Amino acid sequence: MRLTIITNVLPWPLESGGAQAQYCILDELRKNHQITIIFTQDGHNTYRAMRELEGRWPEVRFEPFSYLRQMCYPRFVYDKAVRAFQLLFMPNSRRTFVERALKPYGVYFSKDFKRFVNRVLMESQAELVEVNFFPCLPMVRYIRHNVKTVFVHHEIRFVRNERLLQSVNSADKERLRMERIKKNEVTDLNQYDAVLSLTENDKQVLKAKGVHAPIYVSPASVKTELHAYSDWNGKLVFLGGYAHIPNKEGIDWFLSEVMPLIQNNSASLRIVGKGWPNSYATAYEDVELDGFIPNLYEGIRNCIMIVPILTGSGMRMKILEAASMGIPFVTTSVGVEGLEFFHEEACLIADSKEDFALAVERMIGDETLRKRLADNALTIFQEKYSARALAKRREEIYLEILREVGV
């Protein structure tokens, strides 16, 4: 199979859930199929990262759409300047929050970009095109070759938007804008030959909202060595980058609403991920900012993971990280949505600030509970979310799509 990937998140370095989700599947598929990866260059998708991947995947062809070429598009330059201004001078304003929630950012379908993609598709003789992530969703409108297309929906944007904007009393204009984005999302999904959701829950949501293209469930995995539970070191840990709005929202809620309710708490909180402002460490004396850690296990072993995610969609790769590394975790229902880790069996699940605080207290105070939950979560990960098994499922789906369309 000749497979071409279009993405705005290069699968290296493994500093985000999106990178992890792509890497683990492609690391298996590349062994048996011809793969080309088209990506837009930016601060994450660097040539250095591409060279690292080329060393790991010598049989994969990489086609970067350079940052310089993007800078030739006036709208790209304007939006980048506006966003930089907002993040610098009014990072916590309501306007900035709404704009970041509603406006896809980072991929612009200029004539140059559309020509670039179609040239690569022709040269690679693609049989199947896999498009990843919401900012790339409209690409299906511009593919000019007789090739089958599939969209991997890592996170349903209209679900994320609706949950996010519930907390800010959105105005009529914003609600209308959100509905327009939702309508366009469904319309674009229906132009693909197939859609992949990461969870059964997301599949049912898409069907209920009018997606009639075939939908397959294909979970993602994480690249990690398996580790059993080991003693707790007195630290809580949160894993995720600042740029992903549900991460910021969740941490803000935990620090302001949950942390003060935890009784007799001497635990400190480590935030592991890119982009977190120093203000989090200065405002809260028990917060440590660690940035991106290349060897994640060595960085967060012996911790208790918190997943205070209130909004969003898709799979939380941070939960798979915790389960695979024997790290017990406390999560919200949204955080564990679509994953088969259940309350009191493999984790603790709590949604109110009071219940979340009590769950953290229980985890802190009970070594037996921590070990039991972590051991069960590791077993579930091995049985249901190993990279090899999930990549095999993805391959079967793609071959089925090609057979059904007569390729």
The bridge status of strand 61-65 relative to strand 348-349 is: unpaired
Residue 186: what pLDDT? 97
- Which of 151, 65, 148, 50 is CA-nearest to residue 108? 65
Question: Is a pLDDT exceeding 50 seen at residue 407?
Answer: no
The answer to which of 104-108, 128-132, 302-306, 387-391 has the lowest mean pLDDT is 104-108
Question: Is a pLDDT exceeding 50 seen at residue 318?
Answer: yes
Q: Which two tokens stand for residue 77?
A: 């330059």
Give the residue with greater pLDDT, 246 vs 165. Answer: 246
**Which string of DSSP letters, residue by residue, matches 248-290?**
HHHHHHIIIIIGGG-TT---EEEEESTT--THHHHH-TTEEEE
Give the residue with greater pLDDT, 206 vs 224. Answer: 206
Question: Is a pLDDT exceeding 60 seen at residue 406?
Answer: no
Q: Say whether 235-384 and 2-221+387-404 share the same fold.
A: yes
Q: What percentage of the chain has pLDDT greater than the value 90?
A: 71
- Which of 376, 377, 358, 318 is CA-nearest to residue 17? 318
- The torsion angle over the Cα atoms of residues 304, 21, 40 and 203, rounded to 10 degrees, is -110
Residue 237: what pLDDT? 96
Mean pLDDT of 74-91: 86
* pTM summary value: 0.82
Class of domain 2-221+387-404: alpha beta
Question: Rounded to an integer, what distance in angstroms lies between the CA atom of residue 186 and that of residue 337?
Answer: 21
Question: Which ranges of 6-73 does DSSP label H, i.e. alpha helix?
Answer: 17-29, 47-56, 67-71
- Which of 72, 8, 6 is CA-nearest to residue 41? 8
Q: Where are the domains of the chain?
A: 2-221+387-404, 235-384
- Give the pLDDT band of residue 240 (cuts 50, 70, 90): very high
Mean pLDDT of 92-102: 78
Mean pLDDT of 95-103: 77
The amino acid sitting at 269 is L
Residue 221: what pLDDT? 85
Work out the mean pLDDT of the chain and round it to a whole number.
Answer: 92
Question: Rounded to an integer, what distance in angstroms lies between the CA atom of residue 400 and that of residue 407?
Answer: 10
Question: Is a pLDDT exceeding 60 seen at residue 395?
Answer: yes
> Are 200 and 153 a contacting pair, CB within 8 Å?
no
Architecture of the domain defined by 235-384:
3-Layer(aba) Sandwich (3.40)
Strands (E), 9-133: 34-40, 61-65, 128-132
Give the residue with greater pLDDT, 407 vs 375. Answer: 375
- Give the pLDDT band of residue 254 (cuts 50, 70, 90): very high
Residue 405: what pLDDT? 53
The answer to which of 118-122, 230-234, 291-295 has the lowest mean pLDDT is 291-295
pLDDT in tens, 103-150: 766 799 999 999 999 999 999 999 999 999 999 999 999 998 789 999
Residue 403: what pLDDT? 86
